[in-house]
Amino acid sequence: MSQGKLNVLHIHLSDTGSWPMEIDMYPEFTKDASYRNETYTRQEIRDLVQFAKERGVKILPEIDMPGHSPAHFDAPEITAQYGPIVQCTTVEYNTPEYCFEPPAGQWNISNPNVTTILLNVLTQLSEDFSTAPHLHIGADEVNTNCSAVGTAYEHSTYDEKKNFTKYSVQAFLENILTNITDNLGMKVAMWQDSIAVYDVEIDEPEDVLIQIWSYHDAQGPVLKKYCQEGSQMIQSATRYYYLDCGDENPFLSPPNFCTTFESWKTIYLQDIITASPGMPEECDNSFTGASVQLWSEKINKNTMMAKLFPRALALAERLWSNPTIPASNDGEEWIPAQMRLRLVNDFNLMNKCLEVAPMQPEFCLKNPAICDEFALTHGPRSNLHSVSSLE
């Protein structure tokens, strides 16, 4: 990351499928909620933070809430001590009506113990992730039907469930937000759903970072409001910056939002402000950066590096240089970028035996001048006629 000018690592620490970190106050949480004992101890997290700090990288930890909660937290020993802290986790709820993908599970925010538990977890994270610029609390994709399970609204109409979900999630998130800023003295990051779907009121907008992933025009007024009041934003538009896309979502028919694979060139040529078309112009100066996301549903240690690089490098190159891209995108800008990125990706990272995706044929690693000259004459569409002179 440091070689490629990537300076923040955003870790989505937990989801319905796993809770991989040890929490001192809740040692039972990792018993059944992690894979093959793949857990982080507190010391391992602190070592990672220090390792990253020495290389100029900050780590942004995320505990998503109230959606995307660990399904295994319905274990009898947990329920006996704290009451039901998760909802709709039994097998009959693994349907599209109750979850975005299996396993189903959300924090049961009607149980007051849940707020206490999450604040204790966030307190530990604030201590261990000492360089974190924010604490990320997620706040996206809360399933309406799941939210109503076990409540007085379970058998209500969908609209009644929707209103219940909206206002209960709003109150819950505002409580969490206030506790983080007032009691932990930290800033907060949230996905855009928090303000655009659940109407979370932010008292100190400058203390909150909004992460954009799926913008549509109806969200414009509320985003405009917080941009004007001082909130900063991170661009993570699915269209360009979800690097796990391209191999198809395992649960959706094509085409869908994750069908397209975007090349490093597309990412480099895309201005982050226009990556979400229609965003209010008042937000143009609110973007403090952008991030590429690599969700792990279909990623493992054998495929991760090739999914990340060189495309993550291309985003960093774009953000730090922010070139003026010609409307034709005909090669004047991506060719020099390719020359620079190749030094990091195809020489440095590949020489470290990292399984990154190569940017050029192996011939070009040994003969870069020939390949660069070919690209300079062949790349711009206006010069296609000159190819014959190089054959």
141 included as an active-site residue: yes
Q: What CA–CA distance (Å, rounded) separates 186 from 179?
A: 9
Nearest to 5 by CA among 335, 319, 324, 351: 319
Q: Is the dihedral of CA 145, 150, 156, 160 positive or negative?
A: negative
In angstroms, the first-to-last Cα distance of the chain is 38
Q: Which of 28, 101, 141, 248 is catalytic?
A: 141
SS (H, E, C) the chain: CCCCCCCEEEEECCECCECCECCCCCHHHHCCCCCCCCCECHHHHHHHHHHHHCCCCEEEEEEEECCCCCHHHHCHHHHHHHCCCEECCCHHHCCCCCCCCCCCCEECCCCHHHHHHHHHHHHHHHHHCCCCCCEEEECCCCCHHHHHCCCCCCCCCHHHHHHHHHHHHHHHHHHHHHHHHHHHCCCEEEECHHHHCCCCCCCCHHHEEEEECCCCHHHHHHHHHHHHHCCEEEECCHHHHECCCCCCCCCCCCCCCCCCCCCHHHHHHCCCCCCCCCCCHHHHHHEEEECCECCCCCCCCCCHHHHHCCHHHHHHHHHHHCCCCCCCCCCCCHHHHHHHHHHHHHHHHHHCCCCCCCCCCHHHHHCHHHHHHHHHHHCCHHHHHHHHHHC
Q: Catalytic residue numbers?
A: 141
